[in-house]
Structure 1
Amino acid sequence: MENSTATTEQKNKQRFIQILALVIAIGVTVGVALLPIDWRQLDWEHIKIYGYPGLFVVTLLSDATVLIPFPGLAVVFLAGGFLNPILIGVVSGLGSALGELIGYLAGYGGRAVIENQKAYPRLERWMQRNGILTIFFLSVIPNPLFDMAGIMAGVLKMPAWKFLTACWVGKFIKFGLIAFAGGASLDFIKPYLGLA
């Protein structure tokens, strides 16, 4: 009888944690979406003023929203014109990886969030076979599947530190390359962006 009670308590505790994770994920996504920020007004001077801390916040917010696009990549591209691309990769990768924890928490809270998506069965197989490598490769490439992969990592209860490490390394590479591209091409495209 005691064993049955302990098992029921463990299940209740686990369910509470899952519901709490899902509520946090939804709350952060809605909260960020409702922020009174007009991203169209974000210009070159704002990026210069806020520098690395600004990049951290923008990429954190950009990836803290599950399935809602924010302009993190564009800001990193522009910042590559005047900040160190390697440091941009480090800072933006960290902000982005921490932001991706929201999707991970949504998945930890319940698989119903994504199981009706067309790509779900294939992504689930990839994650079960090569979870860390899947997270790494999907975080290097700008693509719409990463939110689902982050959610899947939570669904499959991948340890958070493994998820964060694979995600950060991949995002570091992605943002570093985007910053290098921005730095190399901004002189050419500044006149077209009204930045000259």
Structure 2
Amino acid sequence: MRTKYKKELTAFAFFLLFLVVWTFLVYQFSPNEIVERLGVGNGYMIAFVAAFLAGISTFTSAPYALVVVTLGAGGLSPFLIGLVSALGLFLGDSTSYILGYYGHHVVPSALQEELQKIHAWLMARKRAWTIPVLIFCYGAFFPFSNDLVVISFGLARYPFWRVMAPLALGSVIFNMILAYLGKYGVGYFF
């Protein structure tokens, strides 16, 4: 029990450290100065890594949105930031899907039966197109962690690409919106 608590405390400490350092950077330097010091290529790499870490952190979200907004305000291409960070998020969220898909053995048998019913309902022909559309909308317009969606669909044995492709496309839209908000919103408010 102590080891689990220590791991959670360490993860929280890293999260808090990242947040403090990033906040310090944003207050100390303008977004343009941050991008200038990082370099354009490194800025895109940081967007990718921050989004990847947000994707693999189950039920907690690393503050990658702050990175995306700051880099957009710093002059990087919002389109490329959206693509790069969505790729990182896709790869990170894939680990959560796999966790759900192969973790069904730890789920009680009564819940497994319910999940099989859900799977059959999801795969029904007349409703097959609605689920990817809803997943896309969730990824594009809801700023919440994707873990609940991908783990649930993994447990229900819903096909990987029917979950991850619309979610990735929605994430591109969401991250581009964040980057454009950084590009145009920071100048408006500050």
TM-score higher than 0.5 here? Answer: yes
Give the superposition deviation at 1:143. Answer: 3.7
- Contact kept, 8 Å, 2:54 with 2:89, in 1: the verdict is yes
Corresponding residue of 1:96: 89
Q: 1:65 aligns with which of 52, 57, 62?
A: 57
What stretches of structure 1 of length at least 5 have no aligned partner? 1-28, 114-120, 191-196
Counterparts of residues 1-196 of structure 1 (less than 5 Å): 33=11, 36=14, 38-39=17-18, 40-42=20-22, 43=25, 44=31, 49=38, 50-81=42-73, 82-110=75-103, 128=122, 129=127, 130-144=130-144, 146-190=146-190
Q: Distance in 1 between matches of 2:85 and 2:91?
A: 10
Aligned residues of 1:131 and 1:153 also touching (Cα < 8 A): no
TM-score by length of 2: 0.67
Q: Is the 8 A contact 2:51 2:85 kept in 1?
A: yes
Residue 135 of structure 1 and its aligned partner are, at CA, apart by 1.9
Spell out structure 1 runs of 4+ moving beyond 4 A: 34-37, 44-48
Change (3 A) 1:145 1:91: closer
**TM-score, scaled to structure 1:** 0.65
Give yes or no for contact 1:140–1:171 (8 Å, CA) kept in 2.
Answer: yes
Question: SS of 1:110's equivalent?
Answer: helix
Provide the C-alpha distance between the structure 1 equivalents of 2:13 and 2:151, rounded to a whole number of angstroms: 23
The gaps in structure 2 that reach 5 residues or longer are: 1-6, 26-30, 108-114
How many residue pairs are counted as aligned between the two chains? 152
1:58, distance to aligned residue in structure 2 (A): 0.5
